[in-house]
Amino acid sequence: MADKELRAVYAETLIALAAQDACVCVVEADLARATGTGPFAKAYPDRFFNVGVAEANLVGVASGLSAVGKKPFAATFGCFASRRAFDQFFLSANYAGLKVTLVGTDPGVTAAYNGGTHMPLEDLALMRVIPGLVVVEPCDEVSLEAAVRLAYAHPGCVYLRLQRKAAPRRYVPGESFEFGMAKILRGNLPGTRNAKSGDDVDVALLALGALEVGEALKAADLLAAEDISTTVADMFTLAPLDADLVRGFAGRAKGIVTCENHRLSGGLGSAVAEVLAGMGQHAPLATIGVSADSFGEVGTQDWLAEHFGLTAPNIAEAAKKLVAGRRIAEGRIAEGRIAEGRIAEGRIAEGRIAEGRIAEGR
């Protein structure tokens, strides 16, 4: 069976929730066809609100609906949800302590031919600094349905980053999820031993979203061919981050690589670096994402991913450099200890010679 478009899963889940709760409603900014919420409008026309091309008003209306007890899901392209409506979402929804789920579609390079003006490469950075906001990016239809249901049950605001098109299924239906908890898709949890080698994992690949979870899994295959063991984690939520998982790998892996369809500054790589900064010694970190100096461009998703260095070979190369660097460092430490041992042996020998000379003098 072909994978469903994620926007269809989003709409179907909202319809199911609306059948159970009359407070569930949808707010759109003239993009219902793009978001896929037309079926919701048909099923519940009195709970569907189109505010037109006015994204700030989209969030204002959603906040007003929340203030009178409704549970709104407001959606627009991620560039508009973050850059254009940021102040309204920050103040009218979050600061006011209301319950609004804001959905930003076409994240990162999935905007493709819509180009740089419509390519949200900084939305995670903006949303991550809002106090208490949950920032979630599912990687497939199962995790998306779970994210929508979790957002419905969550008492506060949520930013849901949504790829509209289909994505390969990574989870079995009914898989359980929690905000703030990553899921291991391949390999071992921190602290568990590799059954084949008996060692802790060489590299942890921490990925966010459909595109980069898929590329991280491909990279794991490339690394396995070179006898480098990996764990691939779907981080699921950027905020709250699964800091315990990060700390676990930081203490045991030879390296950590973060993989995100976002600008390098302010997103997953930055969040993981902040966790590592609070530790003493830790595994080295490499970050895969769009250069902080780059704007979005027009192109196919595949071309853009390669152009910005988001693909499996990029991830694998970063991982190999970390492992090579760690092995060189470990070799130097071992050489240093051998040298220290030889110096110590020499000093002991010198001491014995000196003792001999003192005895001869006596």
Provide the pLDDT for residue 335.
52
> If 0-12 CB within 10 Å is exposed, 13-18 middle and 19+ buried, where does residue 243 land?
middle
Examine the domain organization and report whether 147 and 213 are in the same domain: no
Q: What is the DSSP string of 288-315?
A: EEE-TT-----S-HHHHHHHTT-SHHHH
Within-domain flag for 251: yes
Residue 177 in contact with residue 183, Cβ under 8 Å? yes
Examine the domain organization and report whether 234 and 286 are in the same domain: yes
What is the number of other CB atoms lying within 10 angstroms of the CB of residue 118? 16
Distance CA 154, CA 63 (A): 15
Angle between helices 268-277 and 243-252 (to 10 degrees): 70
Distance CA 215, CA 208 (A): 10
85-105: average pLDDT: 98
Provide the pLDDT for residue 281.
87
Examine the domain organization and report whether 34 and 157 are in the same domain: yes
Q: Give the confidence band of 248 by pLDDT, cuts at 50, 70, 90.
A: very high
**Strands 183-186 and 230-234: what pairing?**
antiparallel
- Final residue in a domain of this structure, among 129, 162, 195: 162
The pLDDT tens digits for 68-88 are: 999 999 999 999 999 999 999
Examine the domain organization and report whether 266 and 212 are in the same domain: yes
262-273: average pLDDT: 97
Q: Which residues pair with 56 in a beta bridge?
A: none
Pair of tokens at residue 130:
């809002």
The pLDDT tens digits for 319-361 are: 999 999 765 555 544 455 545 555 556 666 566 666 666 666 6
Examine the domain organization and report whether 155 and 189 are in the same domain: no
Examine the domain organization and report whether 117 and 26 are in the same domain: yes
Examine the domain organization and report whether 33 and 126 are in the same domain: yes
Provide the pLDDT for residue 189.
74
**Strands 48-50 and 24-28: what pairing?**
parallel
Distance CA 305, CA 297 (A): 11
- Which of 234, 204, 197 shows the shortest CA–CA distance to 326? 204
Q: What are phi and psi of 129, to 5 degrees?
A: -90, 0
Provide the pLDDT for residue 362.
58
Greater model confidence, 252 or 31: 31
Residue 26 in contact with residue 72, Cβ under 8 Å? yes
Q: Is the pLDDT of residue 247 over 50?
A: yes
Within-domain flag for 128: yes
355 as an active site residue: the answer is: no
Examine the domain organization and report whether 222 and 151 are in the same domain: no
Within-domain flag for 116: yes
H helix or E strand, kind and range, residue 321: helix 312-361
Residue 82, domain extent: 6-162
Q: What are phi and psi of 289, to 5 degrees?
A: 180, -175
- Final residue in a domain of this structure, among 130, 162, 194: 162
Within-domain flag for 71: yes
- Final residue in a domain of this structure, among 162, 197, 227: 162
Within-domain flag for 204: yes
The domain that holds 283 is classified in CATH as 3.40.50.920
Provide the pLDDT for residue 7.
97
Instruction: Report residue 157 CA to chain centroid gap.
Output: 18
Provide the pLDDT for residue 198.
41
Examine the domain organization and report whether 158 and 187 are in the same domain: no
Examine the domain organization and report whether 92 and 202 are in the same domain: no
Distance CA 64, CA 57 (A): 10
Given the residues 5, 12, 55, 137, the one annotated as active site: 55
Q: Give the confidence band of 280 by pLDDT, cuts at 50, 70, 90.
A: confident
Number of domains in the chain: 2
Provide the pLDDT for residue 227.
93
- Which of 101, 84, 216, 213 shows the shortest CA–CA distance to 154? 101
Examine the domain organization and report whether 188 and 150 are in the same domain: no
Q: How much of the chain, in percent, has pLDDT values that exceed 70?
A: 86
Q: Is the pLDDT of residue 194 over 60?
A: no
Within-domain flag for 352: no
**HEC per residue, 227-275:** CCCEEEEECCEEECCCHHHHHHHHHHCCEEEEEEEEECCCCHHHHHHHH
Provide the pLDDT for residue 333.
44
The domain that holds 25 is classified in CATH as 3.40.50.970
Examine the domain organization and report whether 61 and 202 are in the same domain: no
Distances (CA, A) of 17 to 26, 145, 153, 227: 11, 11, 10, 46
280-294: average pLDDT: 94
Within-domain flag for 283: yes
Within-domain flag for 68: yes
